Amino acid sequence: MRKFNFCAGPAALPEPVLRQAQEELLDWQGVGCSVMEVSHRSPEFTTVAEEAEQDLRDLLCIPDNYKVLFLQGGATGQFSAIPWNLFGAGSKSADYIHTGQWAEKAIKEAGRFGEVNVVASSEDRNFSYAPAADAWRESKDAAYFHYTPNETIGGVEFPYIPEVNSPLVADMSSTILSQPIPVEKYGFIYAGAQKNIGPSGIAVGIVRDDLLDRSLPDIPRSLSWKVAAEGQSMDNTPPTFAWYLSGLVFKWLKAQGGVEAMAALSQKKSQMLYDFLDRSDFYSSPVAVESRSRMNVPFVLADDSLDKLFLKESEEAGLLALKGHRSVGGMRASLYNAVPLEAVEALVSFMADFEQRNG
């Protein structure tokens, strides 16, 4: 029996997608073997790759002057790839906003290859908010400006898009495809797949094509966006199954009404949970109201000695993976696209019942 899965990543996948993959597993498209067992250069797989790209372009209205890349090494690989790809055109310094653990990892990695200016940080209040736009000023000669629109661990989401002069780079690992985005405001968008796209093992990159000529001269081949773009993301063998499954998710998203429909649903799901948290004295949200994530909702119990019991009983009630990140404790419910409204209804009703019995 499938349960409601609130895991932060690898996360829930749409059930119809899993069913289709199951049906096609042994004999994919009449080929006589699975999609995992054909050449990535075969006409059949080429169609998968091309359709996945086109569907993603349609979903996010990606302009023609942007390349779509299917990358390896996860979002973490891009923490390194970003400075390697963008520090070669003069400036070797970049602006970063520090909003929590993922931003920090990106900052540390970039700092190995150039100078990082942390233009704003929310460390003063334990990374519980997104710094306001008037709280920081970008530096003059930055090669790019990096931020994390949604901090998956802290559950903090930017309510605005930074307006900056250098190419804007965004780690959208946990928010991509949950709402429309004005791609033309960005230089580079990237996301590990295992939150809101597909299985782990693949990452998506969307890069403005004029940024493909700014790499450091001795960039490792496997990190080069230009090499990836010129080789249709197949400079080496790509993770074909993850690519195929991501493609099925894109088609499922289109059938659901695309990112507009996902935005409306995300709003509804997260609002239901936040409203419940705000009405309760038993539970609370540690995140500033205006920066609350629609994708990852951390919450704490007023009496944390009940945490263990909460997790045990929620698991028994068919609500999976509500434990908060090991670094922050408490609980976290991740509400990605594949998590249905009924999952949040079940969660809220369990939480109300748990409060009644233990409050």
Ligand X SMILES: *Cc1c(COP(=O)(O)O)cnc(C)c1O
> Annotated binding residues for pyridoxal 5'-phosphate, as ranges?
75-76, 102, 152, 171, 194, 236-237
Candidate ranges 71-79, 181-189, 267-275, 332-340; the one touching ligand X (CB under 6 A):
71-79
Q: Does 148 bind ligand X (CB under 6 A)?
A: yes
Burial classification of residue 317, based on how many CB atoms lie within 10 Å of its CB (0-12 exposed, 13-18 middle, 19 or more buried): middle
Distance in Å, CB of 3 to ligand X, minimum: 22
Binding to ligand X by residue 102, rule CB under 6 A?
yes
> What is the distance between the alpha carbons of residues 6 and 106, in angstroms, rounded to a whole number?
25
Which C-beta is closer to ligand X: that of 31 or that of 161? 161
| Shortest separation between residue 292's beta carbon and ligand X, angstroms | 16
Q: Is position 76 an interface residue for ligand X (rule: CB under 6 A)?
A: yes
Nearer to ligand X by Cβ, of 148 and 291: the residue is: 148
147 part of the interface to ligand X, by CB under 6 A: no
Residues 174-203 that bind ligand X (CB under 6 A): 174, 192, 195
* 9 touching ligand X, by CB under 6 A: yes
Q: How many CA atoms lie within 13 A of 148 on its CB side?
A: 34
The span from the CA of 197 to the CA of 191, in Å, is 9
DSSP-derived secondary structure letter, 295 = S
Q: Is 134 exposed, middle or buried (0-12, 13-18, 19+ CB in 10 A)?
A: exposed
Rounded Cα distance between 335 and 170, Å, is 20
225 catalytic? Reply is no
Q: What is the sign of the dihedral through the CA atoms of 149, 150, 151 and 155?
A: positive
From 74-82, 179-187, 221-229, 265-273, span contacting ligand X (CB under 6 A): 74-82
- Assess contact for 327 and 153: CB atoms under 8 A: yes
Q: Which of 28, 84, 102, 243 is catalytic?
A: 102
Kindly state the number of chain residues that form the binding site for ligand X, as judged by CB under 6 A.
12
Which listed residue (121, 128, 152, 314) binds ligand X by CB under 6 A?
Answer: 152
Residue 173 makes contact with ligand X by CB under 6 A: yes
Residue ranges of the binding site for L-glutamate: 41
Kind of pairing between the strands at 4-5 and 319-320: parallel
Q: Measuring CA to CA, how many Å separate 247 from each of 118, 142, 243? A: 36, 35, 6
Catalytic residue flag (residue 102): yes
| From 171, 225, 226, 269, active-site residue | 171
Q: How far is the CB of 217 from ligand X (least distance, A)?
A: 26
Q: Please report the beta strands in the chain, taking only residues with DSSP state E, as ranges in sequence order.
A: 4-5, 66-71, 93-98, 115-121, 145-147, 150-151, 156-157, 168-171, 188-192, 203-208, 283-284, 296-301, 319-320, 331-334
CB of 44 to ligand X, least distance (A): 27
Annotated catalytic residue, options 28, 95, 195, 225: 195
> Rounded to the nearest whole angstrom, what is the least distance from the CB of residue 100 to ligand X in the complex?
9
Find the shortest distance in angstroms from Cβ 305 to ligand X. Answer: 29
Cβ 171 vs Cβ 106: under 8 Å: yes
In the annotation, is 105 catalytic? Answer: no
335 part of the interface to ligand X, by CB under 6 A: no
Catalytic residue IDs: 102, 171, 195
Residues found near ligand X in the complex (CB under 6 A):
9, 74-76, 102, 148, 152, 171, 173-174, 192, 195
